């Protein structure tokens, strides 16, 4: 079975932080966070499974056509909720470093400048997800949270960014892990309801 030390070793840009059942509270309970950056200077990520009710077309209408279904702004985390961040997935074979307005993260996943021209980027992108806010950690803070058992650290897939509406991403990510971590997918969350 994976240990907290194993999970710390897996921390890297492009990894997923999956809230353990011990992490309760409205901000991060059953969240899946994509690590946009992780270094000695700290970490930054976006919550992939907290859609808001705010349509993309109400805030950034120029991005509506490229926005992944459900075409709403997602709550990326508790920090800077008024600041927009756009994460995209490039089409196969695109050279991200050659595209203006795109900063590669890992594989086909990239940060997209919300001030860029969507029509110019559309031929290179499968889709984007827009976030209001992000989650952030000071140097060493995330490692401490992982060591305390707050997060499972697992590989991220590009499709996690664009997951369709009504998919329980927490369950799906845990279900695809090797045993025995896979068993966590069926954790009831609230043990008093078991």
- Name the domain count of the chain: 1
Question: If pLDDT is split at 50, 70 and 90, which confidence band does 17 have?
Answer: very high
192 located within any domain? no
Instruction: Report the chain's mean pLDDT, rounded to a whole number.
Output: 93
Residue 1 has pLDDT above 50, yes or no: no
169 located within any domain? yes
Q: What does pTM read for this prediction?
A: 0.92
89 located within any domain? yes
Question: Sign of dihedral through CA atoms 11, 15, 20, 25?
Answer: positive
Structure tokens at 106: 């890992």
The rounded percent of the chain whose pLDDT value lies above 90 is 79
- SS3 label, residue 131: strand
Structure tokens at 137: 């950690």
Domain holding 180, by residue range, is 4-186
Question: Sign of dihedral through CA atoms 100, 54, 164, 169?
Answer: positive
Name the nearest CA neighbour of 146 among 47, 15, 27, 14. 15
137 located within any domain? yes
191 located within any domain? no
CATH number at residue 34: 3.40.1740.10
The rounded percent of the chain whose pLDDT value lies above 70 is 95
Question: If pLDDT is split at 50, 70 and 90, which confidence band does 2 have?
Answer: low
164 located within any domain? yes
146 located within any domain? yes
67 located within any domain? yes
Question: If pLDDT is split at 50, 70 and 90, which confidence band does 178 have?
Answer: very high
């Amino acid at each position: 079975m994976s240990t907290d030390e194993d999970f710390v070793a897996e921390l890297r840009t492009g990894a997923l932080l999956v809230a353990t059942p011990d992490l309760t509270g409205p901000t991060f309970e059953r969240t899946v966070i994509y690590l946009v950056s992780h270094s000695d200077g700290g970490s930054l990520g976006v919550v992939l499974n907290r859609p808001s009710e705010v349509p993309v077309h109400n805030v950034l209408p120029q991005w509506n056509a490229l926005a992944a279904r459900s075409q709403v702004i997602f709550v990326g985390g508790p920090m800077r909720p008024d600041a927009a961040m756009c994460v995209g997935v490039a089409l196969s074979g695109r050279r991200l470093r050659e595209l203006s307005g795109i900063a590669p993260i890992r594989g086909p996943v990239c940060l997209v400048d919300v001030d860029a021209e969507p029509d110019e980027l559309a031929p290179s992108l499968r889709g984007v997800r827009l976030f209001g806010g992000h989650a952030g950690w000071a140097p060493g803070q995330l490692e401490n949270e992982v060591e305390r058992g707050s997060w499972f650290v697992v590989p991220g897939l590009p499709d996690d960014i664009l997951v369709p509406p009504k998919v329980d991403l927490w369950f799906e990510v845990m279900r695809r892990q090797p045993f025995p971590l896979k068993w966590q997918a069926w954790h009831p969350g609230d043990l008093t309801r078991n």
